Amino acid sequence: MSDSYAIGVDIGGTKMAFALMNRAGQVLESTQKPTHASRGAQAMIGDLADGINHLISLAPAQPMGIGIGIPGQVNPDTGLIKNAYNLGWQEVPLTEWLSPLLTSKLPIQVMKDADASLCGEYYYGAARGTQNCLYICIGSGLGGAILANDRLVSGFNGTAAGIGHIMLYPKGEKCVCGLIGCAETVVSGPGLVRVFKKLLAATGNPAPSADISSHFILDALGKGDPLAKQAFSSLARGLGRVISICISIVNPQSVVLGGGMARAAFDQLLPEALQEIKSHALVHTYQDLKILPSTLTSSAIGPASLVWYSGI
Ligand SMILES: [Zn+2]
């Protein structure tokens, strides 16, 4: 039986996830490689090509193309990465450098990682059947993507839906981007840790012997720890504020929450986020809104589905 195949790669700060997927969204082969970003772009792209060539060799038929999701500012038309701070990349012509290293000349579509994730949700996940969706990824940062009338919105220079840097806290902390009080200073894994540590310091109690990570705090939340509850509540309310701003602008039918934090604590996040949305947005923007957890099982499914989306 004939089928179409696509290769997807999710490039993250610590690992690259590869998948060979068919049109039904089944992952036939998958693999991972450490990113080791400090080696520089050329070496990373060499590894990227090796991973892709391996999947090309395993595909039952020639794949239709390659989709790549990357944490940075991307020109989707040329595959030029303007900047990807996590990787230390600036002005890297990813498509141009990758193409000659591949064993088959396949079309390549590169997108910002959150756009790629939303594309995967649209084809195979929680956003199936919707034409207007907001995707929010809560992990080591706070990322977003917008689907409007069945199209991903990249914006003029690829920076649309940069929701992590909406200013929510005028007297807040300095963000990694250099601005003050960005949403991700609270609504992210590192944000949760920072808020928890601040609350802990204010109590004057000694710090726990274990490393304070977002996992540690989520664990403490499960045990009913009041400080963890308070820190988590700040995150949930901040998320609600971000959603209320975004839905007022793009009027989505659904909001899909992805990323490690949303995956680990969706049920705990939702009630307070909803409460905040109701106090900050007009009723017609949220009355029929669905807020759903991501349902994708591999971060490479989104990038692979870019191949179908782009029609390459
Ligand atoms: Zn920022």
Distance 202 CA to ligand 1 centre (A): 25
SS3 113: helix
Distance 162 CA to ligand 1 centre (A): 9
Instruction: Mark the ranges of the chain whose per-residue pLDDT is less than 70.
Output: 1-2, 312
Phi, psi dihedral angles at 56 (to 5 degrees): -60, -40
* Euclidean distance between CA atoms 26 and 103, whole angstroms: 23
Distance 178 CA to ligand 1 centre (A): 6
Query: Which pLDDT score, from 0 to 100, does residue 1 have?
Result: 44
Query: Which pLDDT score, from 0 to 100, does residue 208 have?
Result: 83
Polymer length of the chain: 312
Distance 72 CA to ligand 1 centre (A): 14
Report pLDDT digits (tens) over 157-215.
888 999 999 999 999 999 988 999 999 999 999 999 999 999 999 999 888 888 999 99
Whether the Cβ atoms of residue 252 and residue 126 lie closer than 8 Å to each other: no
Query: Which pLDDT score, from 0 to 100, does residue 2 have?
Result: 56
* Euclidean distance between CA atoms 287 and 278, whole angstroms: 9
Residue ranges, comma separated, of all CATH 3.30.420.40 domains in the chain are 5-121+298-310, 133-293
Distance 73 CA to ligand 1 centre (A): 14
Distance 161 CA to ligand 1 centre (A): 13
The protein residues having their C-beta less than 5 angstroms from ligand 1 (an ion) are 165, 175, 177, 179, 182
Query: Which pLDDT score, from 0 to 100, does residue 256 have?
Result: 98
Query: Which pLDDT score, from 0 to 100, does residue 144 have?
Result: 97
Homologous superfamily in CATH for domain 133-293? ATPase, nucleotide binding domain (3.30.420.40)
Query: Which pLDDT score, from 0 to 100, does residue 85 have?
Result: 84
Query: Which pLDDT score, from 0 to 100, does residue 105 have?
Result: 93
Distance 112 CA to ligand 1 centre (A): 17
What's this model's pTM, rounded to 2 decimal places?
0.94
Homologous superfamily in CATH for domain 5-121+298-310? ATPase, nucleotide binding domain (3.30.420.40)
